[in-house]
């Protein structure tokens, strides 16, 4: 911390930011935003974030990995939604791609299948085509790709009336 030459008042922001990062994984953008809300100026916030990265309090690779895993398991989000939300946090695309590619494919597809099955059970429309369409729209809103959705919906074996 000495190399950053923080003033006494800036050290209070540093301590608060360290505690914030220790309570849960954070990305650079969220910590910088929090620091400015607390009253730190943009330049001070940037220096503190650089210090936190150098100290290991912030690691965007780790953050992305945990973010993607938790959003898959807790929110049932697909890759598209994860990628979009992480881009909104100004995280480098290669870091995002790496985290998304390292998701367990079997768990990912199992989550999609369970989500599709539970949603399908709630769709009351008697027309199979409309039920399929509603299900596909729902899965798309959760951020799954069209190929993933088609594969999963096809496995549910919709029967069409001729």
**Over the stretch 92-121, which tens digit does the pLDDT of each residue have?**
999 999 999 999 999 999 999 999 999 999
Which residues lie below 8 Å from residue 141, measured CB to CB, with a gap of 6+? none
The pLDDT, as a whole number, for residue 157 is 65
User: HSE (CB half, 13 Å, CA atoms) of 148?
Assistant: 23
Task: Return the residue matching tokens 């940037």.
Answer: 46
pLDDT in tens, 32-42: 999 999 999 99
**What's the whole-number mean pLDDT along residues 121-136?**
93
Q: Kindly state whether residue 162 falls inside one of the protein's structural domains.
A: no
Q: In terms of residue numbers, what domain contains 136?
A: 105-155
- Taking 70 as the threshold, does the pLDDT of residue 4 lie above it? yes
Of the candidates 116, 120, 121, 123, the residue with the CA atom closest to the CA atom of residue 139 = 116
> Alpha-carbon dihedral of residues 17, 44, 48, 90, nearest 10 degrees?
90
Residues 79 and 125 in one domain: no
Give the single-character DSSP code of 2. G
Who has greater pLDDT, 159 or 97? 97
Residues 127 and 116 in one domain: yes
Residues 10 and 40 in one domain: yes
pLDDT in tens, 45-93: 999 999 999 999 999 999 999 999 999 999 999 999 999 999 999 999 9
Residues 96 and 118 in one domain: no
| Token pair belonging to 90 | 């100004």
For residue 15, with 0-12 CB atoms within 10 Å meaning exposed, 13-18 middle and 19 or more buried, which class applies?
exposed
Give the single-character DSSP code of 122. T
The pLDDT, as a whole number, for residue 97 is 98
Q: Kindly state whether residue 46 falls inside one of the protein's structural domains.
A: yes
The pLDDT, as a whole number, for residue 156 is 84
Output the CA–CA distances (angstroms, integers) from residue 70 to 99, 115, 162, in the order listed. Answer: 12, 15, 42
């Amino acid at each position: 911390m000495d190399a950053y030459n923080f003033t006494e008042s800036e050290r209070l922001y540093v301590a608060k930011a360290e505690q914030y990062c220790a309570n849960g994984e954070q990305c650079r953008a969220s910590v910088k935003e929090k620091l400015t809300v607390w009253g730190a100026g943009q330049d001070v916030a940037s220096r503190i974030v650089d210090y936190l990265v150098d100290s290991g309090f912030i690691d965007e690779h780790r953050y992305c990995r945990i973010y993607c895993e938790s959003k898959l398991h807790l929110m049932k989000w697909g890759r598209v939604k994860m990628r979009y939300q992480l881009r909104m946090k100004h995280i480098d695309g290669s870091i995002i791609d790496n985290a998304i590619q390292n998701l367990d494919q079997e768990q990912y597809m199992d989550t999609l299948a369970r989500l599709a099955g539970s949603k399908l059970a709630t769709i009351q429309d008697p027309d199979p085509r409309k039920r399929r369409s509603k299900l596909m729209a729902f899965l798309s809103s959760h951020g799954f790709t069209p190929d993933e959705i088609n594969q999963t919906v096809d496995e549910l074996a919709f029967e069409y009336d001729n």
